Amino acid sequence: MFRILFYTPEIPGNTGNAIRLAAVTGAQLHLVEPLGFDFEDAKLRRAGLDYHDLAVVTVHPNLEAAWAALAPSRVFAFTSEGETLHTEVAYEPGDVLLFGPESVGLPDEVKQDEHVTALVRLPMLEARRSLNLANAASIAVYEAWRQHSFASTPA
């Protein structure tokens, strides 16, 4: 299935919701340190409910380790600066959907990394800053999964 990659997430509730998203869609969740929380955080556990044991979650010490674990894969970096709409991508199983930290999004060096296949954006009304991280990941994962008729093959 698909792989969600959160680069240095900051808010435990968003990651908890992404754990739940991974569990119900069969996606894998990959997190790049440093994390803005620990896995004992009550907000993370509450947002993930009892789905923690049903999700595949991997924590990587840095982006290079994540690339090594996920390669070879196409990587779609979600950013407001993306040239391609999320619905214009023909997703393939194994694709990586990359999202940046809540406060600042993906830094330029990550968006320009050689592993990134394309910069992708979710449409929003003008003069709006951004979507919530977990909501953005959900929109992307469900579009990718929809294109594959919601196949039930686990990650």
Positions at the binding site for S-adenosyl-L-methionine: 100, 122, 130
User: Sign of torsion, CA 41 53 20 27?
Assistant: positive
- Binding-site residue set: 100, 122, 130
Q: How far apart are CA 106 and CA 112, in angstroms?
A: 10
Do residues 103 and 11 touch, judged by C-beta distance below 8 A?
no
Contact between 12 and 155 under an 8 Å Cβ cutoff? The reply is no
Q: For residue 5, what are the β-bridge partners?
A: 30, 98
Structure-token pair, residue 93? 């199983």
